[in-house]
Amino acid sequence: MNTLEKLKQFYWPYKKYLIASLFSLLFVVAITVVYPIVLQLTIDEVVLKDRYPLIPYIAAGFFLIMLAKATATFFHQYMGDLFGITSVYKVREALYEKLQVLSFKYYDNARTGDIMSRLTTDVEMFRNFLSFGFSELIRITLLIVISLGVMFYYSIPLALITMASMPFLAVVVFMFDKRVHPAFRGIRKSFGRLNTRVQENISGMNTVKSLSREDFEIGRFSDSNDNYRQNYLFTANIWSKYMPVMEFIGNACAVLLLAYGGYLVMNGNLNLGELVAFFSLVWYIMGPLMNLGFVVNQFSQAKASGERLLEILEAKEDIVEKDGAIDTPIKGHVTFNDVTLTYIKDDDTALSNITFDAPPGKIIGLIGSTGSGKTSITQLITRFYEPEKGEVLVDGRPVDAYKLKTLRQHIGFVLQESFLFSTTIRENIRYGNPQIPEEQIIDAAKRAQAHDFIMEMPNGYDTMLGERGMGLSGGQKQRIAIARAICINPSILVLDDATSAVDMETEFKIQQALKEVMKGRTTFIIAHRISSLKHADEILVLENGEMAERGKHNELVNNNGPYERIYRIQYQDREQIMDTAT
Full-model pTM: 0.71
Please report the pLDDT score of residue 78 as a whole number: 92
Per-residue pLDDT tens over the stretch 448-478: 888 988 898 888 899 888 766 677 877 788 8
Domains of the chain: 2-313 (1.20.1560.10)
Task: Please report which residue ranges of 267-341 form alpha helices under DSSP H.
Answer: 272-313
Say yes or no to pLDDT of 415 above 50.
yes
- C-alpha neighbours within 13 Å on the C-beta side of residue 122: 30
pLDDT band at 576 (very low <50, low <70, confident <90, very high): very low
Residue with more model confidence, 354 or 244: 354
Per-residue pLDDT tens over the stretch 324-370: 889 888 999 999 999 999 887 767 788 999 999 999 989 999 998 88
Number of Cβ within a 10 Å radius of residue 574 = 11
pLDDT averaged over every residue in the chain: 82
Distance of CA 360 to the CA centre of its chain: 40
Are 256 and 161 contacting, i.e. CB atoms less than 8 angstroms apart? yes
Please report the pLDDT score of residue 440 as a whole number: 92
Number of Cβ within a 10 Å radius of residue 185 = 18
Its sign, for the CA torsion 278, 279, 283, 289, is: positive
**Helix or strand (DSSP H, E) at 49:** none
Residues 6+ apart with CB under 8 A from 369: 543
Task: Please report which residue ranges of 102-155 form alpha helices under DSSP H.
Answer: 104-109, 112-117, 123-128, 134-154
Please report the pLDDT score of residue 211 as a whole number: 58
Per-residue pLDDT tens over the stretch 126-177: 888 888 888 888 888 888 888 888 888 888 887 887 777 777 777 877 777 6
Please report the pLDDT score of residue 580 as a whole number: 40
Q: Give the integer Cα–Cα distance in Å for 306 and 309.
A: 5
Say yes or no to pLDDT of 305 above 80.
yes
| Closest among 249, 250, 211, 280 to 41, alpha carbons compared | 280
Percent of the chain whose predicted confidence (pLDDT) is above 70: 91
Give, rounded to a whole angstrom, the gap between the first and last alpha carbons of the chain.
80
Distance of CA 433 to the CA centre of its chain: 27
pLDDT band at 577 (very low <50, low <70, confident <90, very high): very low
